[in-house]
Amino acid sequence: MALIVKKFGGSSVADAKKVFNVANLIVEDYKKGNDVIVVVSAQGDTTDDLIAKAKEINPKNPSKREMDMLLSAGEQISISLLAMAIETMGCPVISLLGWQAGFNTDSHHTIARIKNINGERLKSEIEKKKIVIVAGFQGLNKYDDVTTLGRGGSDTSAVAIAAALKADLCQIYTDVDGVYTADPRKVSTAQKMDEICYDEMLELATLGAQVLNNRSVEMAKKYNVELEVRSSLEPHKSGTIVKEIVKMEKTLIKGVAKDNNVASISIVELQDKPGIAFKIFNKLAQAKINVDIILQSIGRNNTKDITFTVSQDNREAAVAVIENLKDSLAFREVTFDENVSKVSIVGAGMESNPGVAAKMFEALSDAGINIRMISTSEIKVSVLIDEKFADAAVIAVHDKFVN
């Protein structure tokens, strides 16, 4: 007998038929004598639909507290429907909202972090031999207000339960049968990996491979929770294991990822003197804006340009921060571009293999794609390119390395 945490994403519970399909999988494990805790996301596009509803009422700035109140409703629907499906199959079951399941978070509404899980309720329901269905993506802050964990956050909810209750298995079921070398919906030659290590998975997830939420991988690594990514539609097919150490493979890179949620911001003709970069990036940090790639031009006539990227959600706020510095910094203008995309390769093997970046640039050059910015770390190379070439770039780079 094992304690199994199973997480089902929105596409896996999108309609009644899929809810019953998932219910069957859960009951199958339960009837084998296992304890089963299930985490679910909102059905299909429910979260996007709720965001659209908020925009109908307040297109500019609904408070983040109320956004959390609204968005958490999506998961309340899916947990109760799934529990009802399991009831029809004659098994004891209970659905719990995030706060009932003991999820305590910080107060950063819409991007809250889990502080701890009080597992008492979960444990007591399991002891009563109930299947427990938990609403993913949500928790409660110290003021008893509902919070959400950021888009894709249900993966993190599942890993957090697996870590807190020391589960034997943490299975993430989705609409593809594992982690691939690129998004299998975009790249037909993408290959499924049997296993991938936390660090590589974390980079892929952070750089746009949405199959796992990056915070969930971070947490899995921290608490050593082994993850299995599997298909809810082909549940008996083996998936991809995400763990600390994986067997050595010949491939130089593990995968290619794309992120369209990027904007570049340029500050033109800044004074070329010490302290300028500090002032800019310190103000952005104070405004809690994450900056990704930074490029500074060579100084000319005592001026230089600085270009950096942020996520599109932060673009407006970042431009406002820079505009506010105009008097003290005396630059000519600030411009931005949202029609950009970041394409990245990831692989621990590149650290000891020179020429990986050059090979990526060659693939892009052969495809006639211009590179605007570059950033590298030990295990990844990212380029910023025009968004319209992003899919072609992923295919070109993937072909160069994987096939």
The rounded distance, in Å, linking the Cα atoms of 380 and 227 is: 22
Which residue in the set 98, 102, 136, 239 belongs to the binding site for ligand ASP (CB under 6 A)?
136
Strands 35-40 and 131-135 turn out to be parallel
End-to-end CA, the chain? 42
- By the rule CB under 6 A, 152 interacts with ligand ADP: yes
CA atoms within 13 A on the CB side of 389: 20
Measured from the CB atom, the residue of 102 and 152 that comes closer to Mg ion is 152
Per-residue binder mask for Mg ion (CB under 5 A), 129-168, x = binder: -----------------------x----------------
Q: Does residue 154 interact with ligand ASP by CB under 6 A?
A: yes
Give residue 119's Cα distance to chain centre: 25
Is residue 224 classed exposed, middle or buried when 0-12, 13-18 and 19+ CB atoms within 10 A define those classes? exposed
- Which range of residues in 3-11, 68-76, 265-273, 390-398 is near Mg ion by CB under 5 A? 3-11
Choosing from 137, 180, 308, 401, the residue that interacts with ligand ADP (CB under 6 A) is 180
Among ligand ASP, Mg ion, ligand ADP, none, the one that 321 touches (CB under a kind-dependent 5 to 8 A) is none
User: Counting contacts by CB under 6 A, is residue 151 touching ligand ASP?
Assistant: yes
Q: How many residues bind ligand ADP (CB under 6 A)?
A: 19
CB under 6 A: which stretch of 62-70, 82-90, 135-143, 177-185 binds ligand ADP? 177-185
**Residue of the chain from 12, 47, 171, 382 that contacts ligand ASP (CB under 6 A):** 47
Radius of gyration of the chain (CA): 23
As measured in angstroms, the least distance from the Cβ of 56 to ligand ASP is 19
At position 403, the amino acid (one-letter code) is N
- Of the candidates 3, 6, 10, 201, which one interacts with ligand ASP according to CB under 6 A? 10
- Residues 162-201 within binding reach of ligand ASP (CB under 6 A): none
Question: Which residue, among 123, 222, 211, has the nearest Cα to 163 in the 3D structure?
Answer: 222
Q: Please report whether residue 183 would count as binding ligand ADP according to CB under 6 A.
A: yes
| C-beta closer to Mg ion: residue 44 or 152 | 152
Region 243-302 residues binding ligand ADP, contact defined as CB under 6 A = 255
Applying CB under 6 A, does 349 fall inside the site for ligand ADP?
no
CA distance 6 to 239: 14
Among 4, 5, 9, 241, binds ligand ADP (CB under 6 A): 9
Q: Which residue ranges make up the site for ligand ADP (CB under 6 A)?
A: 9-12, 41, 152, 174-176, 179-180, 182-185, 209-211, 255
Q: Which residue ranges make up the site for ligand ASP (CB under 6 A)?
A: 9-10, 41-42, 47, 74, 136-137, 151-155
Q: Which residue ranges make up the site for Mg ion (CB under 5 A)?
A: 9, 152
